[in-house]
Each structure stands twice: as C-alpha cells, then as structure tokens.
Amino acid sequence: MRRLTNILVTGGAGFIGSNFIRYLFEKEGFSGTVVNADCLTYAGKEENLADVEAQFGKTVVDSGATQRYFFEKADICNRDRMERIFRQYDIDTVIHFAAESHVDRSICGPEAFIRTNVMGTQTLLDTARFYWLRKDGVLRDDVLFHQISTDEVYGSLGIDGSFTEESPYEPRSPYAASKAAADHLVMAYHYTYGLPVTISHCSNNYGPCQFPEKFLPLVISNIRDGKELPVYGDGRNIRDWIYVDDHIRAVWLIVNKGKTGGRYNISGENEWRNIDLLHKVIELTAAECGLNPLDVEKTIRFVSDRPGHDRRYALDCSKLKDELGWKQTVNFEEGLRRTVSWYVGKDKYQSVFSFSIR
Ligand code: NAD
C-alpha cells in the first residue's frame, strides 16, 4: 500500500505542476504534505500558487494551523539539496514534473534539456533509491516515483493510427529525446534496483498558468494585444488537446492505483489541425475582447516550419480507461472558453515569440 503522505512535486511552479498542487488541496481533500521543489526558470512562477501558499503555506502557522505546503527554491540537479529535502520532509512519493519543456528552445540550445531532463531525473532517482532503502537492503514498497512524460517520445504519426504504451520510442526533437532518456532511466531504476515507479505520457495540455510561448497562450495573448499570430509551416500539423485538469486527475489516479512499473497514456481524444484550432481561438478571444474576428484573421502569419516538426500525435488511452476507470470530463469548447478568459484577464502574461530557429 502506497503511503502518499509526504509528496515531493518537482516543477510545481510551472504550468501543469501548479495546477496539480492546487487540485490536490482543493479537489482531492488531500490531507498530507506537499513540497514543491522548483528552481524558478523563466517558466516557473511562485505567484501561480499564491492562493495555495496563503491557505496551506507558512503564514497559516500564525493562526495555529499546520503548514502543509512548502516551497523549496531548488534545482533538481543539486544532489545535496535533493537529499536534504528527502530527509527534512521524509518524502515517500515523488511526482516529477520539472523539465525544460519547450521544443523550440531545445532546438536552439539542447544542453539545458539534457541537464535538467536527463541528469536532473537521474539525480532524483538516485536520491530516492538511497533514501528509500531499508536496513535489510531491500527498497521500501510503500513509496513511488512517478515520471511525467510526454506523447512526443513516440515520434510522429501519419494520417491515422495512434500510439499505445507498447509503441516503440522514436523521439525526433532534442526535447523529446531528453524526455525519452529520462523515461528509460526511470524504468532502468525499476528493473535494476526495484524502485517502485509509474510513468504517464500525455498529449498537449491547455489551461491557465501556461507560459505564453506555447501555442494557445501565445495566440490568445497576441489577439488580446493586437499582435501578429504566428503559425508554423502550413498549419496542418495535428495535435491532440486535453484540459490540464483532466491530465492531473489521471496522474493522481495512476499515483494511487496504477500498477507499479506501469506506463499509461493520457489523451483528450480531441485532435485538431493547428490552423483550425487557431480559427476557433480567434472566434472565442475576439468575442471576449470585443474585437471583430475578421480583422483578427488578417493578422495570421505563416512562419517557416520548425525543423523536424512532427506531423501528427495521437494516443490510445484505453489502458487508462479500462484499468483505472478514467475518462475526460472537460468539454473542449468549455475548456477553451475558460482558458481564453483567464489569459485575457492577465496582463502580466505577456506573450513571447522571440526565437529564431537556426
Ligand atoms: P513548464 O515549463 O510550464 O514548467 C516546468 C517547471 O519546471 C518550471 O516551473 C521550472 O521552473 C521547473 N524547472 C525547470 N528546470 C528545473 C530544475 N533544474 N530544477 C527544478 N525545477 C526546474 O512545463 P509544463 O508544461 O508544466 O510541463 C510539466 C511536465 O509535463 C514536463 O515534464 C513536460 O515534459 C510534461 N508534459 C507537458 C505537456 C504540455 O502540454 N505542457 C504535455 C505532456 C507532458
């Protein structure tokens, strides 16, 4: 039986990690402790969890309550810091979100991706394996290391078909390769040392708190600010979209009930060509901002394609549905509306599209 009492969430100040921590406290009635270890790169913002900090962080001690949310500004590559965090909070579960996560940045500079996504994951795995070793030399079985992976490790698909958990890895960008390497290390620690692990592969997430260099927050903020709307290539690349809450509910289910050593695909089963999605976002954002959608359409700019741009991703998530009873709950139109109104209301989320891919 997994303890799931003192959870180390890495990268909890980023998009999905911050939504996950909020979800645990608000929706799951989680009664344990969450330690958020994040070194706050450009993508991490402590403000993403200001509400959780106010309700469960250090200030609650003044009113006699027990602090249950702890933020540690720490780099997952720093072994000493990781060991201290494990000891100080008696960590029994790791949910590993921390990563360099933007494909374009990985094309411009792969080193940071190898450092954090590969070396950082190995540092965490090794810290866990020593901290969780019992006196008799056997690893505890009430602990878990959950790796947040991506659909991109499987590579690109043609017009039909979808990847299952049995599909071979064929990463095509430095980002995807670094995530694939991390996944292999996670499974290697499971088979070699008996570390209890699970892995989830998810498709494209959307929702609040995503850094606006990624497609949806970028175009929403650009429409709001009257800027051009960049679209890679011919705009016909296909992605599957899932609302972030559906992803994190699946993660919590896997962490609670997933088979040790198991890998699970998580998908919105909701495929869109980028250009069609852009038209939909223009319609919703123009309405929210009181703009004429026809004027906004004129700001679309096709820019040269990303090198090695994967054409289509699609995941078969029937294992997660059949084995753990998960299903998507957020209707796409409703999720998009929520996302649009969140970004339109956030002036501080300035869009960023400053990469030139060489
Ligand atoms: P993000 O870029 O928004 O957040 C990443 C967080 O990790 C940031 O808070 C950053 O400060 C932190 N971080 C980076 N390097 C670190 C280091 N060395 N030490 C400590 N913290 C560090 O990313 P996201 O979109 O929230 O993605 C989270 C995870 O989900 C990643 O592992 C990513 O590969 C995976 N994923 C994302 C998507 C998606 O659509 N966004 C889809 C599938 C999988």
Closest residue to atom 33 of ligand 1, CA basis: 101
pLDDT over 80 (residue 354): no
Per-residue pLDDT averaged across 54-71, rounded? 95
Active-site annotation holds for 193: no
**Please, which pLDDT band fits residue 164 given cuts at 50, 70 and 90?**
very high
Cβ 120 under 6 angstroms from ligand 1: yes
Contacts of 148 (CB under 8 A, 6+ apart): 16, 95, 96, 97, 99, 200, 202, 251
320-323 contacts at long range (C-beta below 8 A, 24 or more positions apart): 320/250, 320/253, 320/254, 320/264, 320/265, 320/266, 323/258, 323/259, 323/264
Domains along the chain with CATH numbers: 6-209+241-272+310-330 (3.40.50.720)
Q: Which of 152, 165, 245, 310 is catalytic?
A: 152
Residues of the chain with pLDDT > 90, as a percent, come to 91
77 lines ligand 1 (CB under 6 A): yes
Could you tell me where the beta strands, DSSP code E, fall in 11-101? 33-38, 69-73, 93-96
pLDDT, tens digit, 9 for 90 and up, residues 284-293: 999 999 999 9
> Judging by beta carbons within 10 Å of its beta carbon (0-12, 13-18, 19+), is residue 38 exposed, middle or buried?
buried
Residue 239 CA to ligand 1 center (angstroms) comes to 19
Could you report the per-residue pLDDT of 203-228, keeping only the tens digit for each?
Answer: 999 999 999 999 999 999 999 999 99
pLDDT at 308: 83
Q: Is the CB of 40 under 6 A from ligand 1?
A: yes
User: Mean pLDDT score of the chain, rounded to an integer?
Assistant: 95
Q: 154 CB less than 6 Å from ligand 1? A: no
Mark whether 232 is an active-site residue. no
What's the confidence (pLDDT) of residue 41? 98
Q: Is the pLDDT of residue 357 over 80?
A: no
Residue 347 has pLDDT above 50, yes or no: yes
Residue 240 known to be catalytic: no
Look at residue 353 in the predicted model and tell me its pLDDT.
Answer: 44
Distance 80 CA to ligand 1 centre (A): 22
